[in-house]
Amino acid sequence: MKKKIMSTSALPSLSSPRLRRQAESKLKGLRLTGISAGLNIDPPRRRHERPASQNGREVQNAELKEVVDHAECALEKYTALYEFAPVGYFSLDELGAIIEVNVSGAALIGLPKRDLLHRRLQGFVVSASRRLFHSFLGRVFAGSEQQVAEFPFLNEQGVVFLANLQAVAVHEPSAPWCRLALSDITALRSAEDTQRQLAALTAINQELEQEITRRHAVEAALTESQNHQKQLLRRAEQMQDQLRNLSHLILTAQEEERRRISRELHDEVLQTLVGINMHLENLSHCSKVEPTRLRRKIVTTQRLVTESVNAVHRFARELRPMILDDLGLIPALDAYIADFRKRTRIAVQFTAYPEVERLSTVQRVVLYRVVQAALCNVARHARARRAKVRIHHEEETIYLSIRDNGRSFDVERILNVKRYKRLGLLGMRERVEMVGGRFFVDSAPGKGTTIRVEIPNVEAL
């Protein structure tokens, strides 16, 4: 509990021993004046005026007694307030010697009042702070304003306590002195230190809570990052499986294509050429041949040669259409779609913008192969009656879409299955991603299938 410190400037004037002695002298003077007043009356006159003056003196004595009683009561009250105040009151001379001290001040020092008189108060200050105490006394006697300071004191029992000092000088002609109020603020400072420590601990706890929150957020972010990395790892493993499967499918498709070309060359071109050779040999052995028969053999041979040329053209177109390199993407797609309509009886609508021919050769080949593969899937699996091929551009991106009205399929299963026996969608996606593009497939019951391709326009960039 904090002690209330009384300012020495508010102390009553009776705090000085000199003033106390003056008060006692005045009381004594009042008593002597009353007595002498009674003694200075002329005896003859007193004999004649004794009854009247006797009553006056009795009244005066009663008034004096009342004044003395009142003064003594006030002195007792002041003494009680002075002696047992919650702070120690000291009267010091210029050297710091104790002229007067109350009971509370003596209790703080730990000695009786009589043992403290004429001892220097700085003798009870901790030795390391005595020089500062001398400076404090110098400031007190150098001016008339109240001075405040704090010093560590060592009482008679060897206990160190922190004291708050409030002093003001009294400049009298005979000898200057000062009033000093001393209060023990050890508990107060300890409470303040405890409060500061609590505030520091609170701040530290808040920082720890913030750090814990931050670490929880970091841990959550790390957990999320680990989960994301696991997903990426699974995705990478899945893509590796798809790439291995794709490589296997490419090798298988190459072998099947070679087998088909070999078989068709053997069955069509080779047999046609053998037939032509036999006809030519027969013509060479027949010296005399009827003109009509010779004409029929020549027509037959020409037909076989035409079929061979058409077969070679078909093989060349399927392997790499020369029109794509000679005339461009639009004529190549137009020719392929026209042949596709004739072969499949599927109505295909084709639109493209002329600037598509400004694309690089690799980009045009990718678009051609995607259209070719997509229409092959439409013919083989979709059971569609109509299809629409559209190429357009927006800003710096080329858009290709192939839409049909056939039956749908599970896109995710086809694209993400580890062992897929067909090369179509995977091959198209690989071709598109090879040139930095994006590949999308949408398929829904009753709406058919739409393949969308987005390729950055290198020329525009």
> Under a CB-based contact definition with an 8 Å cutoff, are residues 328 and 366 in contact?
no
- Which pLDDT does position 257 carry in this prediction? 66
Query: In sequence order, what are the beta bridge partners of 327?
Result: none
- Which pLDDT does position 88 carry in this prediction? 92
Helix %, strand %, coil % for the chain, to 5? 65, 15, 20
> What confidence tens digit (pLDDT) does each residue in 76-101 have?
676 666 787 889 999 999 999 999 99
- Which pLDDT does position 4 carry in this prediction? 36
| Helix, strand, or coil (residue 450) | strand
The residue type found at 375 is L
Sign of CA dihedral 260, 261, 263, 264: positive
* Residue that the structure tokens 């809570």 belong to: 209
- Which pLDDT does position 305 carry in this prediction? 78
Verdict on whether the full-model pTM lies above 0.85:
no
Separation between Cα atoms, residue 245 and residue 420, nearest integer Å? 7
Query: In sequence order, what are the beta bridge partners of 450?
Result: 403, 442
- Which pLDDT does position 312 carry in this prediction? 73
Beta-carbon-side half-sphere exposure of residue 178 (alpha carbons within 13 Å): 28
Domains along the chain with CATH numbers: 8-156+163-183 (3.30.450.20), 322-461 (3.30.565.10)
Q: How many CB atoms lie within 10 A of CB 190?
A: 11
> What confidence tens digit (pLDDT) does each residue in 238-263 have?
877 777 776 766 656 666 666 666 66
Q: How many CB atoms lie within 10 A of CB 362?
A: 11
> Under a CB-based contact definition with an 8 Å cutoff, are residues 245 and 416 in contact?
no
- Which of 296, 118, 192, 285 minimizes the C-alpha distance to 277? 285
| Helix, strand, or coil (residue 45) | helix
Residue ranges of the chain with per-residue pLDDT less than 70 = 1-53, 75-76, 78-81, 246, 248-271, 277, 279-281, 283-291, 294, 313, 315-320, 413-423, 458-461
